[in-house]
Amino acid sequence: MDKVAVVAIGGNSLIRDQAHEDVPSQIATVEETCRHIGDMVADGWSVVITHGNGPQVGFILRRNELAAHEVPMTPIDVIGAETQGAIGYMIARALDNELRQRGLSRSVVAVATQVLVDRNDPAFQNPTKGIGSFTTREKALEFAREGWTVREDAGRGWRRMIASPIPLEIIEQDAIRVLLEAGFIVVGVGGGGIPVVRDEAGLLRGTIAVIDKDRASSLLASALKADLFLISTAVEKVALNYNRPDQRWLDYMTLGEAKRYLAEGHFLAGSMGPKIEAIIAYLEANPRGRALITKPDTIARALAGKTGTWVVADG
């Protein structure tokens, strides 16, 4: 098989800015990123694409709230599945068209992906990730009766809080591997995957949680023993002392340096932090792999060694 790359595309591959949140704009933005992924396929990479879904989940939650008097609400795991279907379709169609225009006959398939978490993960005792819009106390108490944790945010109102447990296993990972081996380009673990737990009988159940997409992408890259784990985001390179006068862009880090810089606080929690943690976990599981962080439009130049931040195992 060709060399395998897991390409995790960030929020900026779907929503360019606040003026471009509508679906036609999302499609145009996805098409732009797929041009760059097309370069990778043309270069001989077998590609698995993963993606985020934070804003899209927020839109569906809001739509649910506004329409609750008329149509049934959708549970959060099913919302995750909805976004995997919709975004998976956008990517599959855009990349299919991109490859066709280049005369490449490769098919793209999106896999609805469940990701197993531990039902005793401590994250469930203390949900920390805000989700959906701010609301009143009365509405919040209603959500609480449905099983949600709710919290008051000084001044801004009440908000549902959701757990972000550690992903343990990608349920469809063998299916994804077989599809890759058969020559398909795969879209998977969208939004970090649909969170599921095993009950006492060992059966899968959807759960109220969200999974960090960088963590889940790392797990997939490790499980597939991918040669490359590429995180495409809104910055061309990773910096030390980010946004400070003494900021320094990095071309290259070893695994050891990545751990040290992370411990020193160079990578913000909730943005670059989870990406570096994801790369550390991937390189520890797969020391021969290589990891890269860059923007969609610099992917080709980064793969040619001209930009981006590369991370490799020590020695």
In the chain, the N- to C-terminal Cα span, in Å, equals 27
Is 275 designated active site?
A: yes
Residues 170/175/181/185 CA torsion (nearest 10 deg)? -80
Q: Which residues pair with 194 in a beta bridge?
A: 114
Instruction: Candidates 110-118, 172-180, 227-235, 278-286: pick the segment binding ligand ADP (CB under 6 A).
Output: 227-235
Active site residue: 58, 129, 130, 157, which one? 129
87 binds ligand ADP (CB under 6 A): no
Active site residue: 80, 193, 275, 295, which one? 275
What's the token pair of residue 206? 């959807």
Is 12 designated active site?
A: yes
Active site residue: 11, 130, 157, 273, which one? 11
With b for 16 or more beta-carbon neighbours within 10 A and e for fewer, the 4-16 pattern comes to bbbbbbbbbbbbb
What's the token pair of residue 89? 């379709």
Is 213 designated active site?
A: yes
Binding mask of the shown chain, residues 21 to 60, with x at each position contacting ligand ADP by CB under 6 A = -------------------------------x--------
- What are the distances in angstroms from CA 23 to CA 15, 188, 258? 9, 20, 37
Is 259 designated active site?
A: no
Binding mask of the shown chain, residues 235 to 264, with x at each position contacting ligand ADP by CB under 6 A = x--xx--x----------------------
Q: Which residue is nearest to ligand ADP (CB)?
A: 10
Binding mask of the shown chain, residues 184 to 223, with x at each position contacting ligand ADP by CB under 6 A = ----------------------------------------
- Which is nearer to ligand ADP, 127 or 274 (by Cβ)? 274
268 binds ligand ADP (CB under 6 A): yes
- Which is nearer to ligand ADP, 57 or 179 (by Cβ)? 57
What's the token pair of residue 39? 């370069």
CA distance 185 to 264: 38
Q: Return the sign of the alpha-carbon dihedral for residues 11, 51, 88, 7.
A: positive
What's the token pair of residue 269? 């929690």
What's the token pair of residue 132? 């959906």
Residue 145: half-sphere exposure toward Cβ, Cα within 13 Å: 6
The footprint of ligand ADP on residues 1-20 (CB under 6 A) is: 10-11
Q: Which residues bind ligand ADP (CB under 6 A)?
A: 10-11, 52, 233-235, 238-239, 242, 266-268, 271-272
- Which residues carry out catalysis? 11-12, 129, 213, 275
